[in-house]
């Protein structure tokens, strides 16, 4: 007499396992997002922001300089420095000190800009599009609504 085992259990497919794992990941992200704040979470994960530190900005600037990407070299980006948000480009002295090769940044008239001139022009263009009401750090210097 043969004993047969009761095999009424269903198989768990690979697709179901993948969905369960994805569901757990989404649940963990939701819990972390609501508990520690969404901006803090994205800053830690760093998937929705570009270079968020001086070292990452210096790396980006080095690549731009080596590939002669003047637009990328001269553009300003938002970077966290010592917990504070700043706007800087590759002409910032803290970034420039880490570079082997540099490119020239020019304004609309074709004049070559230094770090300070570049920051003032950026401040003026930023002020023209949205009135600055609090001091903004641009290339390491605080600018207010007059950008002076």
Best CA proximity match to 76, nearest among 42, 126, 27, 39:
126
Task: Summarize pLDDT for 86-95 with one digit per residue, the tens.
Answer: 888 888 888 8
Whether the Cβ atoms of residue 76 and residue 89 lie closer than 8 Å to each other: yes
Where exactly are the structural domains of the chain?
14-44, 50-143
pTM recorded for the entire structure? 0.57
Best CA proximity match to 87, nearest among 130, 51, 125, 137:
137
Q: Mean pLDDT throughout 130-146?
A: 70
Q: Residue 27 — pLDDT band, cuts 50, 70, 90?
A: very high
| Structure tokens, 53 | 């530190």
């Amino acid at each position: 007499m043969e004993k047969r085992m009761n095999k009424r259990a269903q198989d768990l497919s690979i697709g179901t396992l993948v969905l369960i794992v994805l569901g757990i990941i989404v649940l963990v992200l939701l819990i972390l997002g609501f508990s520690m704040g969404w901006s803090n979470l994205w800053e830690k994960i760093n998937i929705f922001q570009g270079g968020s530190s001086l070292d990452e900005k210096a790396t980006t600037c080095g690549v731009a300089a080596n590939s002669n990407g003047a637009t990328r070299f001269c553009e300003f980006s938002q970077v966290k420095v010592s917990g504070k948000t700043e706007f800087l480009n590759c002409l910032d002295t803290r970034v420039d000190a880490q570079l082997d090769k540099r490119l020239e940044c020019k304004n609309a008239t074709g004049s070559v800009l230094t770090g300070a001139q570049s920051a003032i022009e950026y401040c003026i263009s930023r002020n023209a599009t949205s009135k600055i009401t609090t001091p903004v750090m641009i290339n390491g210097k605080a600018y207010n609504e007059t950008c002076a």
